[in-house]
Structure 1
Amino acid sequence: MTQDVSRRSLLTLGAGLGATAMLGGSALAKAPKLGTQAPYFHRFNFGDAEVTVVSDGPLPLGDPGGAFLGVPKEEIKKMLTDNFLSPDNVVLEQNSPVVNMGDRLVLFDTGMGTSKAFGPTTGRLQKSMAEAGIKPADIDAVVCSHAHIDHIGGIVGADDKPLFPNAQVYIAQSDYDFWTDEGKLGGPLKDFVIHARKNLLPVKDRLVFIKDGQEFLPGIQAVAAPGHTVGHTVFMVTSKGKSFCFLGDLTHHQVLLLEKPRMEFAYDTDPKAAVATRVKLLDMLAANKTPVMSYHFAWPGYGHVVKAGDGFRYIAEPMNMQL
Structure 2
Amino acid sequence: MRVTRRTILRGALATTVASALPRFSFAAQSLELGAARIDTLSDGNLVLPLSFVSNDPKAVPILKEFGLTGAQVEPPCNLTLYRDGTNTVLFDVGSGPDFMPTAGKLQAALDALEITHDDVTHVVFTHAHPDHLWGVLDDFDEPIFANAQHFMGKSEFEFWINPETVNTIDEGRTTFAAGALRRLQTLEDQITTFGDGEEILPGIASRMTPGHTPGHMSFEIRNGSNSAFVTGDAIVNHYLAFAAPGMAAGSDQDPDLGAKTRVALLDQLASEKMPIIGFHLPEGGLGHVERQGDAYRYVPEA
TM-score, normalised via structure 2 length:
0.87
Name the stretch that deviates more: 50-59 or 102-111: 50-59
Asked if structure 2 preserves the Cα contact closer than 8 Å seen for 1:65 and 1:73, the reply is: no
Q: Could you say what secondary structure the match of 2:132 adopts? A: helix
Change (3 A) 1:262 1:313: same
Tell me the equivalent position of 2:148.
Answer: 167
Query: In structure 2, which of residues 54, 63, 71 is the aligned counterpart of residue 88 of structure 1?
Result: 71
Assess, with a 3 A threshold, how the Cα gap between structure 1 residues 106 and 36 changes in structure 2: closer, same or farther.
closer
Q: CA deviation at 1:186?
A: 3.8
Deviation at 1:197, TM superposition (A): 1.8
Do the aligned partners of 2:283 and 2:300 also contact (CA within 8 Å) in 1? no
1:268 CA displacement: 1.3
Shift of 1:176: 1.1
Alpha-carbon deviation of 1:293? 0.5
Equivalent residue, structure 2, for 1:45: 32
Other structure's SS at 1:205 match: helix
Distance 1:200 1:247 in 2: 22
Partners of 1:153 and 1:104 in 2: how far apart? 23
| Residue aligning to 1:114 | 97
How has the CA–CA distance of structure 1 residues 36 and 131 changed in structure 2, closer, same or farther, with 3 Å as cutoff? Answer: closer
Q: Deviations over 1:92-135 (max 9, x none)?
A: 1111111001111000011111223xx31101112221122111
Q: Map 1:249-268 onto structure 2 (within 5 A).
A: 249-268=233-252
Q: Say if 2:186 is the partner of 1:202.
A: yes
Q: Deviation of residue 66 (structure 1)?
A: 4.2
Partner of 2:116: 135
Which residue of the partner structure matches residue 294 of structure 1?
A: 278
Counterpart selection for 1:151 from 127, 132, 141? 132
SS in 2 for 1:56: strand
In 1, the alpha carbon distance for the partners of 2:191 and 2:51 equals 37
1:273 pairs, out of 241, 250, 257, with 257
Displaced runs of 4+ in structure 1, greater than 6 A? Answer: none
Q: Which residue of 1 aligns with 2:17?
A: none
66 and 213 in structure 1: CA distance in 2 versus 1, 3 angstrom threshold: closer
SS at match of 2:180: helix
Distance 1:294 1:214 in 2: 21
- Check whether the contact 1:56–1:122 (CA below 8 A) recurs between aligned residues: yes
1:311 to 290, 295, 298: 295
Higher Rg of the two aligned structures:
1
TM superposition shift of 1:80: 2.2
State the match for 1:22 in structure 2.
Answer: none
Gaps of 5+ in 2: 1-19
Indicate which of 60, 65, 68 corresponds to 1:79.
65
Structure 1: 5+ residue stretches without partners: 1-34, 319-323
Across the two proteins, how many residue pairs are aligned to each other? 279
Question: Which residue does 1:60 correspond to in 2?
Answer: 47
% same residue: 32
Question: Equivalent residue for 2:4?
Answer: none
Give the match's secondary structure for 2:192: strand
Distance 1:135 1:147, change over 3 A: same
Letter in 1 for 2:221: V
Distance 1:175 1:140 in 2: 22
Q: Tell me, yes or no, if the aligned pair for 2:59 and 2:240 is still in contact at 8 Å.
A: no
Alignment partners' CA distance in 2, 1:159 and 1:263: 42
- SS of match in other structure, 1:222: strand
Q: Which amino acid aligns with 1:278?
A: R
Do the aligned partners of 2:52 and 2:250 also contact (CA within 8 Å) in 1? Answer: yes
Q: In 2, distance between residues paired with 1:257 and 1:74?
A: 13
Cα root mean square deviation, aligned: 1.8
Q: Which amino acid aligns with 1:80?
A: F
Query: Distance between the aligned counterparts of 1:304 and 1:293, measured in 2?
Result: 8
**Matched residue type, 1:259:** A
Contact 1:155–1:163 under 8 Å retained in 2:
yes
Distance 2:201 2:137 in 1: 23
Question: What residue identity is the alignment partner of 1:195?
Answer: G
Instruction: Supply the distance in 2 between the matched residues of 1:204 and 1:239 (Cα, whole angstroms).
Output: 30
1:104 matched to 2:87? The reply is yes
Q: CA 1:54/1:66 → structure 2, altered by over 3 Å: closer, same or farther?
A: closer
